[in-house]
Amino acid sequence: MDTIGQNLKDFEEKINDLHANEHNRFEQSKRRFSDISSVVNTNVHHEQQQEHIPPPPVPTPEPQRPPRDNLPKPASNTPDAKTQEEFPYIDHGAIDFEMRKELWKVD
- Per residue in 63-107, pLDDT (tens digit) is 777 878 778 888 777 777 888 888 877 777 777 888 878 877 765
What is the pTM for the complete model shown?
A: 0.34
Looking at the chain, the whole-number percentage of residues with pLDDT higher than 90 is: 20
Cα–Cα distance measured from residue 12 to residue 4, given in angstroms and rounded to the nearest whole number: 12
Residue 62 CA to residue 70 CA, distance in Å, equals 12
- Please report, for the chain, the start and end positions of each structural domain, with discontinuous segments joined by +: 3-103
- Residue type at 101? K
**C-alpha–C-alpha distance, residues 64 and 51, integer Å:** 39
Distance of alpha carbon 87 from alpha carbon 68, whole angstroms: 34
Q: Three-state SS across 17-28?
A: HHHHHHHHHHHH
